[in-house]
Amino acid sequence: MLPSLNTNNSQKTEVVFVEVNHAQVNQRLDNFLLKTLKNVPKSRIYRIIRKGEVRVNKKRCKPDYKLGMGDLVRIPPLRLEQQDDTEIYIPVNRINDIEKAILFENKHLLVIDKPTGLAVHSGTGISFGVIDIMRRMRPQTEIELVHRLDRDTSGCLLLAKHRQSLLAMQACMQNNSLKKTYVAVVKGRWPKHKQELTHALKKTTLANGERRVYVDVAGQKALTRITQIDPGDDFSHLTIQILTGRTHQIRVHCQFEGHEIAGDSKYGDAKFNKLMKKRGAGRLMLHASRLELPSTDFSQEIVINADLPAAFENLVKK
């Protein structure tokens, strides 16, 4: 790995080659680099990937490339900033809130009801996220995210306490034996016949590391299933299952259908968002309400539910 820096000055590294080991298999290239190059700005990491300065087995790769056992990753010379060993400040009340939000926990896995507005991990302008809080709370474990939720999406978030359970749960996601259900409030009257969305999705990463997704026939397969529709004149409530875990999948599928999710600042309708805010829905109206874990070596078959947040309940009452 990169040499440790025991200096108060910035230092430029040499070219480094890292062979992927068992613990790093199936990690995305960008996430691998973010962990490896902790003192390098996120925007710089995405830039060196985009320019081809990072190579995997001598080939250029995209940020979402999944690393395989024995892959050789070339990391170019980089200027690392001064090490800051100061522990990240996490407010005590935030730690207490997350402790209370635990819905399920055993020796291998943990599920929390993630609040809206909290990122799953730190990043540009974000000093800490769920993963940082959980590692502070459970220092004797190797907690990793099994999947992600967008910062403003609330609800069931699954974490693994060690590498074996992480790989097992990710395999369950790939074969759809682990089921995730969401509820959403969308613009307008959703048509009753529209129950499956299969638009392929393509992802692009901006220079600052921000991810954007759009419908493109050349993109990755994406399947969203609408299992319940409660239509209204101005907005509709949907119950949704996703059978593929693409970035921003539900948000982009709804946008493409002309029924943007309320409160979506990235893919939403500004006029609709303003109207819904007046009705008490001033957040992204997307909630991971249910998680169904299959029977594995790391868990019994179990259904975990996250109660609807007040913003959803208030709309039902009106």
Catalytic residue IDs: 150
Q: Give the span between the Cα atoms of 260 and 193, in whole angstroms.
A: 17
Q: Give the span between the Cα atoms of 289 and 113, in whole angstroms.
A: 9
> Helical H runs in the chain?
29-36, 42-50, 92-100, 130-137, 163-174, 249-256, 270-278, 310-317
Neighbours of 247 (CB within 10 A): 16
Judge whether 200 and 249 are in contact, CB under 8 Å. no
Judge whether 244 and 251 are in contact, CB under 8 Å. no
Q: Give the span between the Cα atoms of 171 and 175, in whole angstroms.
A: 6
Q: Give the span between the Cα atoms of 34 and 45, in whole angstroms.
A: 7
Q: Locate 162 and state its tokens.
A: 């060690």
Residue 184 φ/ψ region, left for φ over 0, alpha for ψ in the -120 to 50 degree band, beta for the rest: beta
Q: Which helix (H) or strand (E) holds 42?
A: helix 42-50
Q: Give the span between the Cα atoms of 248 and 153, in whole angstroms.
A: 10
Q: Give the span between the Cα atoms of 241 and 244, in whole angstroms.
A: 9
Judge whether 250 and 286 are in contact, CB under 8 Å. yes
Q: Which helix (H) or strand (E) holds 316?
A: helix 310-317
